[in-house]
Amino acid sequence: MSRSRVQLWVALWVVYLVWGSTYLGIKLAVRTLPPLLTAGTRFLAAAAILGAILALVRRPLRVTRREALAAAGLGVALLACGVGMVHVAETRIDSGVAAMIAGSVPLQVVVWRALAGERVARPTVLAAAVGLAGLALVVGPDGVSGGSVAIGLLVMLAASMAWSRGSFVSRRLALPADPFVATVYEMLGGGLVLTAVALAAGEGGDLGADALQPGPLAAWAYLAIFGSVVGFSAYVWLLRNAPISQVVTHQYVNPLVAVALGALLLGERPGPTTLAGAALIVGAVVVTARHEGGQRAVGVGARARAGAGAAGGLALRATPRRACAARRGTRAGRSA
């Protein structure tokens, strides 16, 4: 294999495994750590790390006030209302189920496009309808075995909707052209809001000796460094060096990785209806990504995730404008 091909597959597998594993990381972190504070401090730490790297490679962080506010506001929508709520949801539901619901984000973006009056190809509409039917199965009878689980499913569904809506409207925002710089401001905006809400809710009092255990702290560090910084850097490199139709394969690989890790390491066992719904979601995303991939990536260009995945938790997707901005940004200097 040529060097460039090896680099491409290494970057792809970094995105596959790192972003797919963020659901497991979140589940491990929130076992003892308060969820909102975990998410907020994770994004603030990631913003500091990425900002320091950009300063070292002399990538200017200076942007206009309008661009800074737009990026910070998008961070509140995507990272606070999106990925932050994933942390809350995973205190009540399995990491694999959270990943299945997050996997429907590209299909939800199709719905937002249709509601906005955009012309959407019929195969894409049909695939989205099938995938959303699968989403109904995931959040349906198999999962709702108790009130706590039902609340977790609803929170996760709301998180995915916040992410898809934020992804859709981001195309209209005047964001910094350099995606790494934009990410710093997004993580600052989302991290500050999450941390402020967490402290107002009294989560600071939950940081006792019982909460600060090695396992959850290691998971927090993994989410901050690998989920937010390493995974995103690999994704932006791919946007510049790989066909977008290949890059968007992470949209259906990440949930599969998350479900597999949850089953292997946490003993999670989704029911047959949930698995059937997941199959419909993944199949629909495959069809959507392949049909649309030559023209656009489904959703908005990748940021931190979290988490995303997830994101950590949820992963952003690239529209042509965002993908072009990512390419312009990476040409401006060395990749972080």
**What confidence score (pLDDT) does residue 260 get?**
87
What's the average model confidence in pLDDT over 249-273?
83
Determine the average pLDDT of the residues in 277-302: 65
Contact 124, 292 (CB under 8 A): yes
Q: Mean pLDDT over residues 189-201, rounded? A: 94
More confident residue, 245 or 268: 268
Predicted local distance difference test score (pLDDT) of residue 330 = 37
* pLDDT value of residue 6: 82
For 101, phi and psi rounded to 5 degrees? -65, -40
Asked whether the beta carbons of 41 and 191 are under 8 A apart, the reply is yes
**pLDDT tens digit string along 131-190?**
888 888 887 765 455 567 778 888 988 988 888 888 778 778 888 888 888 889 999 999
| pLDDT greater than 90 at residue 200 | yes
* CA geometry: angle 315, 44, 233, nearest 5 deg: 45
Measured CA to CA, the distance from residue 300 to residue 296 in angstroms comes to 10
pTM of this structure: 0.80
Burial track 277-306 (b if 16+ CB lie within 10 A, e otherwise) = bbebbbebbbbbbebbbeebbbbbbbbbbb
3-state secondary structure of 211: coil
- Cα–Cα distance for residue pair 251/301, rounded to 1 Å: 12
* Eight-class DSSP state of 193: H
| Per-residue pLDDT tens over the stretch 37-51 | 999 999 999 999 999
The domain ranges of the chain are 25-331
Determine which of 28-37, 135-144, 260-269, 322-331 has the lowest per-residue pLDDT on average. Answer: 322-331
SS (H, E, C) 282-308: HHHHHHHHHHHCCCCCCCCCCCCCCCC
**Rounded mean pLDDT of the chain?**
79
**How confident is the model over 126-134, as a mean pLDDT?**
84
Q: Which residue is associated with the tokens 């949820």? A: 314
In the predicted structure, residue 295 carries a pLDDT above the cut 50:
no
Which range (26-35, 86-95, 237-246) has the least confidence?
Answer: 237-246
Look at residue 311 and tell me whether its pLDDT is greater than 50: no
Residues 211 and 96: their CA atoms lie apart, in Å, by 23
Q: CA neighbours within 13 Å on the CB side: how many for 210? A: 5
State the CB neighbour count (10 A cutoff) for residue 58.
Answer: 8
Mean pLDDT, rounded, for 207-226: 88
- What's the mean pLDDT in 249-266? 84
pLDDT computed for residue 43 by the predictor = 93
pLDDT for position 26: 93
**Proportion of the chain above pLDDT 90, given as a percent:** 24
pLDDT grade for 279, boundaries at 50, 70 and 90: confident
pLDDT number for residue 34: 93
Query: Rg (Cα) of the chain, in Å, rounded?
Result: 18
pLDDT of residue 44: 95
Q: Per-residue b/e over 188-218, b at no fewer than 16 CB within 10 Å?
A: bbbbbbbbebbeeeebeeeeeeebeeeebbe
pLDDT higher than threshold 60 for residue 89: yes
The DSSP code for 203 is G
**E strand spans, 72-165:** none
The answer to whether the bond into 147 is cis (omega within 30° of 0) is no
How is residue 16 annotated by DSSP? Answer: I
For 111, the token pair is 């719905």
